[in-house]
Amino acid sequence: MKKLLKYLLCLVLSISILPSILPNNIYANDDIIQDENFNVEIEIGEPVYQKGISTYSTTKTVSNYKKYYYKNDKGETLWIATLTGTFEYNGSTSKCLSASVSVSNISSGWQVFSKKASTSGNQAKASVIMRYTPAMSLYPVNFTLSCSPTGSFY
């Protein structure tokens, strides 16, 4: 009987917190994005070219970053996600060689649940899931940094 009561209690608790842990997707792809929970400001860095490239080479290797500032409705930064990528381009094609993601300036009550970075063609991609611990809510965010065949970033 006690096992049945424990099982029922666990089931009731699971059902009651389920809505708070279901993900809220946010896709950041403009300079400022408004979501029901966040304002997102985006900053693209200045490219850093690999040293030692021959002046006769048409292929260039460059690294750059894209920062996403997640802010609340008061303008306070909740966290900053930074996607960094290394790219190769030659004027007609471009390719992402590597990607990494980091999260910094995390406000109280927030923590990184998971993060991963990957490459796909000319894009560095990142997926970060943040957890708001007081409500145990999860917030997945996905973003990209792309390099054009001429070395422009977007």
- Domain annotation covers residue 13: no
Burial class for 26, CB neighbours closer than 10 Å (0-12, 13-18, 19+): buried
- Domain annotation covers residue 139: yes
- Domain annotation covers residue 1: no
**Average per-residue pLDDT in the chain?**
81
Report pTM: 0.73
Beta bridge partners of 104: 80
Burial class for 61, CB neighbours closer than 10 Å (0-12, 13-18, 19+): middle
- Domain annotation covers residue 53: yes
Least confident stretch, 10-24, 26-40, 54-68, 99-113 = 10-24
Predicted confidence (pLDDT) per residue in 30-83, tens digit: 444 445 568 899 999 999 998 755 556 689 999 999 999 999 989 999 999 999
> How many domains are contained in the chain?
1
Q: Which domain holds residue 90?
A: 23-146
- Domain annotation covers residue 69: yes
- Domain annotation covers residue 9: no
- Domain annotation covers residue 93: yes
- Domain annotation covers residue 11: no
